[in-house]
Amino acid sequence: MPVFDRIADLTVRPSRADDYAFVRALASGAFAAYSRDPSGTMSSILGEPGTETLVADLASVRAGFVVLRYERLARDMGPWKSPTVARINAIAVAPDARRLGVARSLLAHAEDAARARSARSLSLATADKNTRARQVFEAAGFFPLARFERYYAGGQAAVWMCKPLLV
């Protein structure tokens, strides 16, 4: 993969069928420390109902992805009757594209997509020790809600984070 240097060339788009090999391959490396079978887990996530995948292209080269899942709650949440909530099930950036703002852009597009579906919140889980990711999420307005021990393979803890979306 080329070394990227122009974030101005970044676009985020809905995934296409030919993106899924890229998504599974990037997930295999990005999530190896958190899953016994990251590619298989990603295939399962991509097949869930209510899932939307966005892909970031940097200078026409795939640079990252985010997978969202939408769910309409069967119960009320505060003033909202059976609201829709969104969850980021996976987000990853190619190694050569890191620290260029790709993750921030994917998060912003994920938020826009969730708002377009009238979601009231956007949540995610991340490894407690993945401080770089946690900093990116907190800078995007997510706040920690709970910690779950032994959430990931190898016994790693997770932090559940949320961002309210007032539409």
Dihedral angle at the C-alpha atoms of 75, 117, 158, 55, nearest 10 degrees? 160
Residue 13, strand partner residues: 55
Closest to 124 in 3D by CA, of 56, 34, 40, 36: 34
Measured distance CA(37)–CA(152) in Å, rounded = 11
Predicted TM-score (pTM) of this structure? 0.89
Q: Fold for domain 7-120?
A: Aminopeptidase (3.40.630)
**Spatial CB neighbours of 137, under 8 Å, sequence gap ≥ 6:** 107, 124, 126, 161
The tens-digit pLDDT sequence of the chain (167 residues) is 444 455 667 999 999 999 999 999 999 999 988 888 888 888 899 989 999 999 999 988 999 999 999 998 888 777 778 888 999 999 999 999 998 899 999 999 999 999 999 999 999 999 999 999 999 999 999 999 999 999 988 888 999 999 999 75
Closest to 128 in 3D by CA, of 103, 148, 113: 148
Q: Could you tell me the residue ranges of all domains in the chain? A: 7-120
In this structure, are residues 163 and 123 in contact, taking their beta carbons and an 8 Å threshold? yes
